[in-house]
Amino acid sequence: MTGPEIERLIQLLARLPGLGPRSARRAALHLLKRREVLFLPLVEAMTAAASSVRTCSVCGNLDSCDPCTICANPKRDPSQICVVEEIADLWAIERSAAFRGRYHVLGGVLSALDGVGPDDLSIAALVRRAGDPAMKEIILATNATVEGQTTAHYVVDRLAGLPVRVTRLAHGLPVGGELDYLDDGTLAAALQSRRAISSAGGGG
């Protein structure tokens, strides 16, 4: 019915989250019909992103430069790190424009049943960053799920003894709610009223 190029396009589109063969066929048709205004610009954007976007070796964010724009920005407070589970959470906090420090992406949560342990997360790198003498505060912004809380507890233990203040997003976040789904106002308020869970050394 269609040539191999179109079949291949459909097959690949079908691997995108939320798309299956049927919706992939629709998307392919949509692109092919809008060759100039959508398809070619999309191809260009994808090629550019694929060749330039990489994982930031400092924080784990995705960007076209390494360190990423946030890590490289001298106006962002280097003495404050906000720890999130996923890049999507980092982007959600950035959208709220409520935070002027830097980030650290763990890359998931501890889950024995899913076989995800501390070595599978970017925890050792976080401990290294936290050990920087200039570091003042680590803000844990893992989700309010049981896994998120367990992971936060684990990170707190691993940071114990370092001269940094460790804080957690304020309660009031809906339990089971994920950061990515919170509106900007709620996020900003949670950041504002974070509370200390440990303060070592000369921290506040």
Partner 1 sequence: MNRLASVPLDTAVSAPAPVHAGAAVVRLTLTDFRCYARLRLDPEATSAVLTGPNGAGKTNLLEALSYLAPGRGLRRARLGDPDRRLPDGSVAGRWSAAIVISTGGDCVTIGTGHEIDGEGQTNGRRIVRRDGAPLSAHRDLAALAAVVWLTPDMDGLFRDGAAGRRAFLDRLVCGFAAEHAGEVAAYQHCLRERARLLAEKAGDATWLDALEDGMARHGVAVAAARLAAVARLDRATRAGIGPFPSARLEMAGEIEDWLQRMPALAAEDKLRAALAAGRDMDAATGGAAVGPHRADLVVFFAGRDVPAVQCSTGEQKALLLSIVLAHARELAAERGTPPIMLLDEVVAHLDGARRAALFDEIAALGAQAWLTGTDDELFAGLRSRARFFRVLDATVTPR
Residues within the interface to partner 1 (CB under 8 A): 18-23, 110-113, 117-118, 146-147, 149-151, 153-154, 157-158, 174-178, 181
Dihedral (C-alpha) 74, 76, 77, 83: value to the nearest 10 degrees? -130
By CB under 5 A, residue 155 contacts Zn ion: no
Question: Could you tell which of Zn ion, partner 1, none binds residue 61, using a CB distance below 5 to 8 A set by kind?
Answer: Zn ion
Residue among 60 and 148 whose Cβ is closer to partner 1 = 148
Selected from 13, 56, 140, 187, the binder of Zn ion by CB under 5 A is 56
Question: Could you tell which of partner 1, Zn ion, none binds residue 112, using a CB distance below 5 to 8 A set by kind?
Answer: partner 1
Residue among 15 and 75 whose Cβ is closer to Zn ion = 75
> What tokens were used for 143?
């989700």
Residue among 70 and 123 whose Cβ is closer to partner 1 = 123
Least distance CB 123 / Zn ion (angstroms): 16
CA-CA distance, 78 to 137, in Å (whole number)?
A: 10
Sign of the torsion angle spanned by Cα atoms 166, 169, 170, 175: negative
Least distance CB 118 / Zn ion (angstroms): 21
Position 12, amino acid: L
Residue among 61 and 142 whose Cβ is closer to Zn ion = 61
By CB under 5 A, residue 138 contacts Zn ion: no
For residue 181, what are the CA distances in angstroms to 16, 106, 112, 173, 176?
A: 20, 18, 25, 11, 11
CA-CA distance, 203 to 199, in Å (whole number)?
A: 6
Reduced to 3 states, what is the DSSP secondary structure of residue 165?
strand
Considering only residues 71 through 90, tell me which ones interact with Zn ion, judged by CB under 5 A.
71
